[in-house]
Amino acid sequence: MNKLTRVVRWSIEPKGEPILTQFLCFYPSSPIWAVDALTDLNWLPRDGHRPESDKGERFRAGMSQPVMTYESDTYTLILCRDGRFMLRVDALERRIAGLNLVESFHETVGLWGEYLDFVNALYLLFDSALLEASNISLFTLNELTRRDVFREVIEGGRTTSEVLPTESVVSYYQKCRYISDYQQDLPLSSDGRIFRRMLAPETSVRLAFDNFEKVMARPGTEKVLASYSKGLSEYKIGNYETAVVLSWFIIEAAVVGIWKRHIDGMNRDMEGGTRRINAERRKFLTGRDFTLSMISQLLELWDVLPNDLFKSVDAVRQTRNAIVHRSATSISAEQTQLALNTAKEMIGRESQITIPVNLGLSVMGL
């Protein structure tokens, strides 16, 4: 059993030899203060450059101060005051360290995809935790891609290197840590990157960390949550068809999982030492002869699938079929919301994680 430690401080001077540790990092789409805000910001950035002043260094240290850290023998998760999430998944890092430099392209692409699943799942959980625990929505959830994340190297408790993803707004927030990036003759408190920051309360941060622990305890859950995050992101910018299809993948996989578990629950030994559901029968019950429509009908008849949920699944299935077969001229926001809500309910049943979501759109006028 893993021994987990939750702390709210970062050791700048660890004992023993300096340890080099790498993280994958990201920022939310809007600037935040995590847990608590910096104060005393009514001074000019130029004052932080003076040789006799340590204001600039203290500001950088305050912005980068980890406010919550969760460590286990499988992963480390850190949230800094300026909203930077830092994630290290040890199994992925070992595979990264072992990459063959000559033939590593496809392996690298695959590892990026796996890491992005984890950070997209984490981003969704953070957004949901803000809604659930604090009833606030601080930013517009968007899918994190290779352009939105970056690697950071920590050695001896200090950052020794980090990539600056200039194609993304991420670099805008990264540079907020450094006094040299501010207008030198205006107080820090007047900069939009400072005064526009909203507070992410500790209760929400802890809930996000706790839910991410559940994800890490159930391998594969991160992929489901990442798919949901992508679907929600597509919905928010009006790509309804994509959102429905991604939601359907989640729903379909969940229903098939419920079906297989139900079959297993009905299996038992018969006379003569045979099993009620042998390999051949299992192959038939889980093969192409049993469509998802049939499976969901049977699960509802056996009271395994609640009637309301069955109706929602069936409605989303029909919408998905209309998309695939091009029998519908358009998909409505309401149909897409049903798909997202049904997928969300399935995720809750399968993972025991509640993910409230903001179904507001992020489409500007033409």
Query: Which of 351, 318, 157 has the alpha carbon at shortest distance from 244?
Result: 318
Confidence of residue 8 (pLDDT cuts 50, 70, 90): very low
Top-confidence residue, 287 or 219 = 219
Model pLDDT, residue 2 = 40
Cβ neighbour number for residue 327 with a 10 Å cutoff:
9
From residue 276, alpha-carbon distances to 263, 266, 281, 286, 340 in Å are 10, 8, 9, 15, 37
Q: What is the pLDDT of residues 155-173, one digit of tens each?
A: 877 788 888 877 888 888 8
Which segment of 15-19, 44-48, 53-57, 283-287 scores lowest on mean pLDDT? Answer: 15-19
Cβ neighbour number for residue 195 with a 10 Å cutoff:
12
Report percent pLDDT > 70 for the chain: 93
Model pLDDT, residue 15 = 40
Which segment of 52-61, 72-81, 111-120, 349-358 scores lowest on mean pLDDT? Answer: 52-61
Model pLDDT, residue 366 = 62
Chain centroid offset of residue 281 CA: 39
Contact 246, 361 (CB under 8 A): no
Contact 244, 284 (CB under 8 A): no
Q: What is the pLDDT of residues 240-285, one digit of tens each?
A: 999 999 999 999 999 999 999 998 888 887 777 778 888 888 888 8
